[in-house]
Homo-oligomer: A and B are copies of this chain.
Amino acid sequence: MKSVAALALAMTVAPVAGNAASGANDDVVAPALERYEQETLEKGLWARPGLSARDRSVVTVAAVITRNQTGLMPEQIRRALDNGVKPAELSEIITHLAFYAGWGNAMAAVDAARPVYAERGIGANQLPAAAPTLLPLDEAKEARRAASVEQTTGPASPGLVRDTREVLFRDLWLRPDLAPRDRSLVTVSALISAGQVAQVPFHLNRAMDSGLTREEASEVISHLAYYAGWPNAFSAAPVAREIFEKRTNP
């Protein structure tokens, strides 16, 4: 057992947040967490099939940004880059979550990403343009979406209907540096992480229309159990089941 003085010294030398984020010294408070981290998360969850390590990082980054967990952000941003998420994709994930998780969450993520980008020498030439050429819009699909939102939301908030159309579906969703399938994966992960299951059906269907497989979607939920808590995963599961059943029984 370290002396109190030695611990105090250690706390002075190594920043507390950095320590805990990396899992180091968990044993000083909760020895089981170190075991769960090594065995259950690292050798278990992150290594198992069903969802690539790259996609697991997309899901985890979305979860920690949505839940505003500033302590986990630096390590998960580094891990995402290590797992093959491109800097431009990561920037788009943060930008996307400014709208789906809230402006302040994105600002906190920018804070966390800035030093990581600096330490890895990631510069403007690797980042998306502020106003790039947008992907082509599927006008028929967008018209159906707009009509549905107009019906449910228009009488309550015309401003929300307009911004959803102009800012989200005719701009944000068409930005080219994050594939539509990944943008949907981020959105679904954000919804589950925030316990917002009401909008999971629309976005999970959209994700699967864009190529997310049922096996991947299933594993997104079990992955998020660890990073957004079991209750959020349990709330998402029956919603996903209903989607899966409807899609396989055409």
Contacts and interface: CB of A to CB of B under 8 A. Distances in A.
Most B CB within 10 A of own CB, among A27, A30, A114, A167: A30
Interface string A87-123: 0000110110011111111111111011101110101
A235 B72 contact: no
Given A32-B91, A32-B92, 11 more contacts: A20-B108, A31-B91, A72-B107, A99-B226, A153-B241, A163-B222, A168-B230, A190-B231, A194-B231, A198-B235, A199-B234
28 contacts: A8-B118, A19-B114, A21-B107, A30-B91, A30-B127, A31-B127, A31-B128, A32-B95, A33-B98, A33-B107, A35-B131, A45-B163, A63-B102, A69-B102, A69-B105, A72-B104, A99-B225, A99-B230, A102-B228, A157-B219, A159-B218, A160-B225, A160-B234, A160-B237, A196-B231, A196-B235, A198-B235, A199-B231
A175 interface: yes
A94 B110 CA distance: 27
A118 B11 contact: yes
Interface in A202-221: 218-219, 221
Nearest to A8: B118
A190 B228 CA distance: 13
Contacts of A225: 99, 160, 163-164
A62 B59 CA distance: 25
Total copies of this chain within the assembly: 3
Contacts of A118: 4, 7-8, 11, 28
